[in-house]
Amino acid sequence: MKSNYADYQDNLENLIKLLRVYNEEHWANYFQKSLELLYVGKPQKSIYHSLAAFGGMGSVTDSLTFTGANNQEVKLGFKLTACLFNECKLKRSFLKRIIE
């Protein structure tokens, strides 16, 4: 499922790898579910699932730490989450989600 969701998919895959390296299993599993939804042909459900991780107390931006990572990897992790959020905002479509 590369099509016009290629950047989104690449971002998810890279973020999940980085999260697993630094034992952020909760968020790695959470975004793995988004990736699985994408793989089964439900890109809009995947996007809405990913978006739900942002905002509010306990969100990915509040609780992500990358414990033990060097500065460069921490910056990469936060860059990937910011890119993921922006990509989701650009690609979300409520009508397409209903159809899925």
Half-sphere exposure of 22 (CA within 13 A, CB side): 18
Q: How sure is the predictor about 100, in pLDDT bands with cuts at 50, 70 and 90? A: low
15-28 per-position pLDDT tens digit: 999 999 999 999 99
Query: 83 or 67, which is more confident?
Result: 83
Report d(CA 24, CA 2) in Å as an integer: 26
Phi–psi pair at 49, nearest 5 degrees: -65, -45
Cα–Cα dist 29/68, whole Å:
20
Tokens 């809009």 identify what position? 44
Q: Which residue has the higher pLDDT, 69 or 96?
A: 69
pLDDT digits over 27-68, tens only? 999 999 999 999 999 999 999 999 999 988 889 988 888 888
Q: Where are the domains of the chain?
A: 3-99
Helices of type H across 2-99: 6-21, 25-39, 43-51, 60-63, 71-91, 94-99
